[in-house]
Amino acid sequence: MAIDITIRNGAPCLGFDGPTVGAVVHACHAATIDQGLAALRVDGLNRETLEPVLQYCAKLLCVADEASCPGCKRQSEIAGLETLDQFILSKKEVIVGDGRVRLTGAGTETVTTPCLETLTKQWSGENYWFWARRVIRKLRHGLRRAHMQGEAVAADGETPSVILMEPQLADNIGMVARACANFGLDNLRLVNPRDGWPNEKARIAASGANYIIDDASAHATLEDSIADLNWVAATTARQRDLRKPVMTPQQAIAEMRLRIARGERCGLLFGRERNGLETSEVANADALIMIPVNSRFASLNLAQAVLLLGYEWMQNDPGRSLGRVTTFERPMSEGVNLGNDRPATKQELIGLFEHLEGELERLGFFNPGHRKATVQQNVRTMLSRMAATEQEVRTLRGIVATLAQGKGTGRKSTDKVP
């Protein structure tokens, strides 16, 4: 049985008392489809009846109905709002955070936002029609990259725990998970994530690092998240008036490796996207990590900070690889990749030298003659520095022969010269 979509107060809604179409799309996009449906609790709305609702949004059928959902970007477009300044002026008041920051406009509506950063990103609304298309794909085909489960590379406690203090954006959590998977940091802990946990948007942003997302734990307080750890280092870009060791990433990771080898459990604490860690939170850490940066622009994206620490962790990890390793790609090591080739032997190099010098002699290159020994020495030094392979020596000898004698039609024309 299909769900009727009716226009109520200018917005497309499910029936006469159901949520807006945009609210349905938002609920199923922010979490899994089943979690979204459970949260909505709409009679008759299930996996079988959901797709027509999504199609209404995905195909922008609301345009013909002259309707739009609250929170949809179409509302800003209809109102002619092109900038954040215009949005603020259209409101009576914009209340930021706890209310100590307030922006006044000329409108009649009062809105709230957790921070100015969020307002900057979300004032114009969301592309609900794009979200609807994503949910339709999930409904038909399941989660994107759901087959890429992966697995932890170390046993519990053998890698530092990555602790995010009150992360604000699910996308950032997903990108942190991806960085963790890149560098073998298997344990992710979240302290009071703003948008709740689990979160489907984080899984999408993780781009296949699903096992990090699945195993991540959410904690109500910082103290709870670090309760089982022995040593914690907190990242900060600001100087703190605390009597704690200040370390570079390299020094902090070296300390963690020593402690983990002794059986201790360690953690890396990262602050909020907006304002980092409070000094009272840093006080719980045993050391501070300060990443070398441009002193005039020290702020790092959350995932970038995790990536830098993860890179340092992986430097001395026996399981590391230069690039990916697949069925068709073997592990790489530093240095020149010779493949199936081999370094040339001295006998092969001397053969090249003698071949080249013989042709140069025949063609009168060594002139004046008293410079011959010096030129030969320079040529041999230059070619020896190449560290040529056996194949490269054969190629060079072919080049010398062709330049000296010609080849094919070129050689025949050279032979006719008196």
Query: What's the pLDDT score for residue 291?
Result: 93
13 domain residue, yes or no: yes
Based on the domain organization, do 232 and 287 belong to the same domain?
A: yes
Q: Residues 345, 349, 350, 355: is their CA dihedral positive or negative? A: positive
Query: What's the pLDDT score for residue 149?
Result: 53
Mean pLDDT of 65-93: 90
Query: What's the pLDDT score for residue 224?
Result: 95
User: Which H/E stretch holds residue 12?
Assistant: strand 11-14
337 domain residue, yes or no: no
128, 22 in Cβ contact below 8 A? Answer: yes
Domain end call among 272, 298, 315: 315
Domain end call among 297, 315, 333: 315
Strand extents, DSSP E, 37-171 = 93-96, 101-104, 110-113, 161-165
Question: Which domain range does residue 214 map to?
Answer: 161-315
Based on the domain organization, do 176 and 308 belong to the same domain?
A: yes
Q: Is residue 381 predicted with pLDDT exceeding 50?
A: yes
- What is residue 220's three-state secondary structure? coil
Tens digits of per-residue pLDDT, 289-341? 999 989 888 888 999 999 999 999 988 776 666 665 555 566 666 677 777 78
Residues with Cβ within 8 Å of residue 101, at least 6 apart in sequence: 95, 116
Tell me how many degrees the CA angle 71-117-181 measures, rounded to the nearest 5: 95
20 domain residue, yes or no: yes
Based on the domain organization, do 40 and 105 belong to the same domain?
A: no
Based on the domain organization, do 132 and 113 belong to the same domain?
A: no
Based on the domain organization, do 309 and 193 belong to the same domain?
A: yes
d(CA 93, CA 97): 13
Helix, strand and coil percent figures for the chain, each rounded to 5: 45, 15, 45
Based on the domain organization, do 104 and 130 belong to the same domain?
A: no
Residue with tokens 């000329």: 106
Based on the domain organization, do 174 and 304 belong to the same domain?
A: yes
Based on the domain organization, do 304 and 198 belong to the same domain?
A: yes
Based on the domain organization, do 52 and 92 belong to the same domain?
A: no
User: Which H/E stretch holds residue 5?
Assistant: strand 5-8
d(CA 136, CA 139): 5
Domain count, the chain: 4
pTM over 0.75: no
Based on the domain organization, do 165 and 311 belong to the same domain?
A: yes
Q: Is residue 147 predicted with pLDDT exceeding 50?
A: no
Based on the domain organization, do 138 and 115 belong to the same domain?
A: no
397 domain residue, yes or no: yes
320 domain residue, yes or no: no
Nearest residue to 253 via CA among 270, 267, 243: 267
Q: How confident is the model at residue 418 (pLDDT cuts 50, 70, 90)?
A: very low
Tens digits of per-residue pLDDT, 193-251? 998 888 888 988 888 888 899 889 999 999 999 999 999 999 998 888 889 999 999 99
Based on the domain organization, do 9 and 137 belong to the same domain?
A: yes
Nearest residue to 193 via CA among 214, 222, 157, 215: 222
363 domain residue, yes or no: yes
150 domain residue, yes or no: no
